[in-house]
Amino acid sequence: MTTATAPVIASSLSRVDGHLKVTGAATYPLDVLVPGMAHAVLVQSTVTSGRILCIDTKSAEGAPGVLAVITHTNVPRLVQGPMTPIGPSPPPPLQSDVILHFGQHVALVVAETFEQARAAASLVGVTYEPGTAIVSLDDPAAARLPNAWPGDRTYGDVANALASADVRVDATYVTAENTNNPLGLFSTVAEWKDDFLTVHDTNQWPHGVRESLAQTFGIDVNRIRVLTPFVGGAFGAGLRVWPHVPLAVLAARVTKRPVKLTLTRAQMFTSIGHRPNSVQRISIGASRSGRLVAIEHHATSSLGIGDDVPDPVTMGTPESYACPNVLVRNTQVRLHIPPPGWMRAPGEAEGSFALESALDELACELGIDPLELRIRNHAQVDRESGLRWSSDATLECYRQGAARFGWTRRPAQPRSMRDGHAFVGYGMARGALVSFQAPCIARATVYRDGKAFVRSAATDIGTGTYTVMTAVASEALGVAFDRVRFGLGDTEMPNSMAEGGSGLAASLGNAVHAACRSLLKAFVGLVGNDRRSPLYGCRLERVTAGDGGLHVNGDPRRFETYAEILARLQLDELTRDGASTPPVNTKTTAPAGSFAAHFVEAHVDADLGTIRVRRVVSAVDGGRILNEKTARSQIIGGVAGGIGMALLEENVSDHTGRIVNASFGDYLVAVNADVPDIDVVFVGSPDPLTATGAKGIGELALTGMAAAVANAVYHATGRRVRSLPISVEKVLAE
């Protein structure tokens, strides 16, 4: 079966939800208003470690409008949510008097208005018995444990290969804690009606939230509905069901009122995860000809005292380059810090900074161009299976990116280019994401008026899911783009994977394609035995979908619209489901991730050490690009995040573990003045292991980007900065 309509996929479509967003008509969880709604405000710990000796709630309980004050002394037992494909649920809140981190929830005040709840929350008095806070990775009292996922791996004889290498680089790289900081504050509105729970919540996985709440409260999952039609950004923060969500649900149950709980900006720094800091030691050995012989990569990163979320820092290292001997080790250190979570390209963003910086240092030692070194060591096969990748345009990324950037103009010697009073440097790095897809289900309907409605309980955190899935459905059904509606963010729709791991577009696209194909098959079944239809006797393989209906290949006169079919059969609509499963190795290929090459021009003031990124070229292999406009937007956003990671972003804590820059005034993110002209080029071809040919790109631009900036700073100044963010002080340090 084919489609006869003009191609929709790969064109530059504007967001279907764009008008709603720019006019303020899109309803985010923060905007939800329910009749009779009360408001909840959190009280958080002001110490980092210890116990609550006394919590005085009398003044708060007597304050105007207060409906309830919930603490560990009166809270019912809450069960920890389930283990998920992306890690464990956080521990439930208020279950003991133990304090594990600064900003831990210690009470919840519910009142008629937000102002009353906030005023009453300030009246809650807490007396602590402080404990010894462990807040440093090198604290000898800290518990150390191996990272359960992806785990340690060894290939070949690394020790002997390093010992015999012609050239060797040994270096330690440090990355800072970063906070996701989406623009939209996380908010939850919970309402109970006759033991049925409705939750409006900021998240990236509605079905995951529903399953977690069902386990936490011991209720049937089918008696919970989670709604998330719009999300004001998340960057991974919405992948876990954080403690404020069950607290909002509990408050609604206790007060028998709908309750809204919205985190403040400061609370976002302690309540919805962050990128953990890391210390990484890398040893790389190579022959004089520039062939890698060994890579040893040890990573140590932080973990909350009471949490177990994995941090896959070295996950991408074994597959990055064709190197016969590779050893990776991951260690997590338990600290009295807010539980880390997933932040865009978790693990891979940190790991790629270290690896790609070390490759640049090796290139300098060898006297080989950094791009040429990467080309010589390109990995053409999957290390585990020995199979070629199902699609891999890395070399084309190098070629086209370098040509567009003008890489051949780069002199080998650092500090050899100037622009007025600034040193100019060129740097580059490879970016990559491992292949990640998960099962999805989609449902497709065509109505008697010929319009289509396709849906799945996914989310759109700004990546363009609404638009891309509308395009996939439009092309698969042969229905005009403006006559297709895509629905998401509602657990009454079929189960989707989380919007995370850059896997949703490919996974859900496959499910949407399958649902649409199943629907077409159903239509062919209706008309194939109907003598009244011009399509009588047709078979699925001989039918083309297009122009809002079906026609027999080679005979355009034998055509009938979906609307005509349904009207004749007196059907209001026809609906079918479709499912997708992750691709697996074939006999000849392994599922490929996405690849990129980033090229950066940085200017560094000769006296002040200030750094400005002036130009970026990113060449991207994302398989078949489902919508170029939103895909380009994703790469630009990732580049901006990479610039922020490299030069600006850092959670700063004092010796007690208190975050001292928990605001947009003090935590620096890349803004328009920091983001240069970004040139994005898409290369490669559709991936044959997926129905749509797509691969994930949402996080791709962040991998390798910080290293590309650091490598450009080195080329400009001759100073290698191995610790992020790269500050003026580090550039000027002797």
Give the three-state DSSP class for 229: coil
Q: What percent of the chain has pLDDT over 90?
A: 95
Domain that holds residue 427: 278-435+587-732
Looking at the domain assignment, is residue 61 inside a domain?
yes
Residues 414 and 443 in one domain: no
Interval 682-693 mean pLDDT = 95
Chain segment 469-479, per-residue pLDDT in tens: 999 999 999 99
pLDDT at site 5: 47
d(CA 382, CA 320): 10
Residue 233, C-beta contacts closer than 8 angstroms, at least 6 positions apart: 182, 183, 184, 461, 462
The pLDDT, as a whole number, for residue 4 is 46
Q: Are residues 450 and 412 in the same domain?
A: no
pTM: 0.96
End-to-end CA distance of the chain: 67
Stretch 647-658: mean pLDDT, rounded?
Answer: 95
| Strand 452-455 with 484-487, pairing | parallel
Is 12 part of a structural domain of the chain? yes
Q: What is the CATH number of the domain that holds 546?
A: 3.30.365.10
Identify whether residues 574 and 628 lie together within a single domain.
Answer: no
Regarding whether 568 and 448 lie in a shared domain, the answer is yes
Q: Is 699 a catalytic residue?
A: yes
Rg (CA), the chain: 27
Do both 241 and 294 map to the same domain?
A: no
89 and 195 together in one domain: yes
- Output the domain CATH number for residue 62: 3.90.1170.50
Residue 638 has pLDDT above 80, yes or no: yes
Average pLDDT over residues 163-174: 98
Contact 96/83 with Cβ under 8 angstroms?
Answer: no
**Is 11 contained in some domain?**
yes
Q: Is residue 526 part of a domain?
A: yes
pLDDT tens digits along 31-43: 999 999 999 999 9
Average pLDDT over residues 382-392: 95
What pLDDT band is residue 150 in, cutting at 50, 70 and 90? confident
Residue for token pair 């629907």: 519
Query: Is 227 contained in some domain?
Result: yes
pLDDT band at 734 (very low <50, low <70, confident <90, very high): low
Q: Of the candidates 229, 255, 271, which is a domain's last residue?
A: 271
Residue 83: pLDDT over 90: no
Whether the bond into 346 is cis, omega within 30 of 0? no
The tens digit of pLDDT for each residue in 279-290 reads 999 999 999 999
> Which pLDDT score, from 0 to 100, does residue 591 have?
95
Q: Is the model more confident about 179 or about 146? A: 179
Q: Which of 211, 573, 699, 734 is catalytic?
A: 699
Return the number of other C-beta atoms located less than 10 Å from residue 571's C-beta.
Answer: 13
| Averaged pLDDT for residues 630-643 | 97
Per-residue model confidence (pLDDT) at position 38: 98
* Separation between Cα atoms, residue 435 and residue 387, nearest integer Å: 14
Is residue 139 over pLDDT 60?
yes
What is the CB neighbour count within 10 angstroms for residue 683?
Answer: 20
What does the alpha-carbon distance between residue 540 and residue 521 come to, in Å, rounded to a whole number? Answer: 6
Asked if the model's pLDDT at residue 484 lies above 70, the reply is: yes
Alpha-carbon gap, residue 486 to 455, rounded angstroms: 5
- Show which of 546, 580, 614 is a domain's final residue: 580
pLDDT in tens, 318-367: 999 999 999 999 999 999 999 999 999 999 999 999 999 999 999 999 99
pLDDT at 10: 61
CA–CA separation, 727 vs 78, rounded Å? 44
Question: What DSSP string describes 109-142?
Answer: EEESSHHHHHHHHTT-EEEEEE------TT-TTS
**Total domains, the chain:** 3
* Per-residue confidence band for 218, with pLDDT thresholds at 50, 70 and 90: very high
283 and 265 in a single domain? The answer is no
pLDDT value at residue 97: 98
- Mean of the per-residue pLDDT values for the chain? 96
Q: Are residues 653 and 668 in the same domain?
A: yes
Which residue do the tokens 């290293």 mark? 707
**pLDDT tier at 643, thresholds 50, 70, 90:** very high
531: which residues sit within 8 A by CB, 6+ positions away?
none
Q: Which two tokens stand for residue 241?
A: 């069901």
Together in a domain, 355 and 454: no
The whole-angstrom distance between residue 632's C-alpha and the CA centroid of its chain comes to 16
Of 290, 329, 277, the residue nearest 173 (C-alpha):
277
The answer to whether residues 221 and 214 touch, using CB atoms and an 8 Å cutoff, is: yes
422 and 441 in a single domain? The answer is no
Residue 532 sits in the same domain as residue 452: yes
pLDDT (mean) for 135-161: 92
Tell whether 493 and 569 lie within a shared domain.
Answer: yes
The C-alpha atoms of residue 325 and residue 294 are separated, in whole angstroms, by: 5
Where a domain ends, among 243, 271, 299? 271
Residue 169 maps to a domain: no
Residue 418 lies in a domain: yes
Cβ distance 692 to 514 under 8 Å?
no
- CA dihedral angle for residue 361, residue 365, residue 367, residue 369, rounded to 10 degrees: -20
Give the 3-state secondary structure of residue 114. Answer: helix
Least confident range of 80-89, 506-515, 633-642? 80-89
**164 within a domain of the structure (yes/no):** no
The backbone torsions φ and ψ at residue 465, rounded to the nearest 5 degrees and listed phi first, read: -60, -45
